[in-house]
């Protein structure tokens, strides 16, 4: 006996759309994803899709907002369970890598947006994410300096930039090699090098 398909709320439908976009971005060039492909993945018509989003740019913005909120929440949870600023930085680093492994479409979308010459709402969302992430890192690094765990001469903004850049480097290598899980093996050693650069000499 066929059962009627459960009707989703507007918010659930928007979340389902975002998740479908991120799945598609893991499989193909994000710039080539069409609203028709998104609707097909969701077993909807394009008309049904546009009842929840005015256009494709709005879908992209929502997808990147979803990713930013969940990434920041994950690294904050990781940091909150750590016993020291340096341990918190390591937990954040590994949590970020874990997020990318689970959602490989996200970095592909982020890099795609940053390459666009024009300003878009989605690109501004990425810029906001990087700024908020950097602020969190700088505060953690300053805490480490104040506690005596990190070298007091460490330039916090530069160290925050290097932290994010190191993760981006691992992500780019994984994209080139087509092996996201390799990041999980490489991340601890990469962070160990970073840690030696900022830790207070014993």
pLDDT tens column, 98-146: 999 999 999 999 888 888 788 888 888 888 999 999 999 999 999 999 9
**Per-residue model confidence as pLDDT tens digits over 191-202:** 999 999 999 887
Q: Is the pLDDT of residue 168 over 90?
A: yes
Q: Which CATH code fits 56-198?
A: 1.10.357.10
Q: Which of 82, 94, 68 is nearest to 194 (CA)?
A: 94
Residue-level pLDDT at 7: 62
Calculate the average pLDDT of the chain. Answer: 90
The phi-psi region of residue 120 (left if phi > 0; otherwise alpha if psi is between -120 and 50; otherwise beta) is: beta
Q: Locate the domains of the chain by residue range.
A: 56-198
Residue-level pLDDT at 146: 96
* Euclidean distance between CA atoms 76 and 130, whole angstroms: 14
Exposed e or buried b for every residue in 57-87, given b needs 16+ CB within 10 A?
eebbbbbbbbbbeebbebbeebbeeeeebbe
At residue 13 the predicted structure's pLDDT band, cuts being 50, 70 and 90, is: confident
Q: Which of 12, 23, 130, 113 is nearest to 68 (CA)?
A: 130
Stretch 179-189: mean pLDDT: 89
Residue-level pLDDT at 8: 61
> In 3-state terms, what secondary structure has residue 150?
strand
């Amino acid at each position: 006996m066929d059962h009627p398909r459960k009707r989703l709320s507007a918010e659930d439908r928007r979340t389902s759309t975002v998740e479908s976009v991120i799945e598609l971005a893991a499989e193909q060039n994000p710039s080539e994803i069409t609203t028709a492909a998104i609707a097909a993945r969701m077993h909807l018509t394009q008309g049904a899709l546009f009842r929840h989003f005015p256009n494709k740019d709005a879908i992209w913005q929502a997808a990147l907002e979803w990713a930013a909120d969940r990434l920041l929440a994950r690294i904050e949870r990781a940091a909150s369970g750590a016993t020291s600023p340096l341990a918190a930085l390591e937990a954040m680093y590994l949590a970020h890598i874990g997020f990318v492994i689970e959602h490989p479409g996200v970095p592909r979308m982020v890099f795609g947006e940053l390459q666009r010459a024009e300003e878009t709402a989605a690109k501004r969302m990425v810029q906001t994410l990087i700024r908020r992430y950097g602020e969190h890192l700088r505060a953690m690094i300053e805490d480490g300096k104040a506690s005596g765990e990190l070298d007091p001469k460490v330039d916090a903004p530069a160290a925050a930039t290097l932290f994010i850049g190191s993760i981006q480097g691992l992500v780019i290598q994984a994209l080139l090699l087509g092996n996201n899980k390799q990041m999980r093996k490489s991340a601890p050693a990469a962070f160990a090098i970073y840690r030696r650069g900022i830790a207070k000499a014993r």
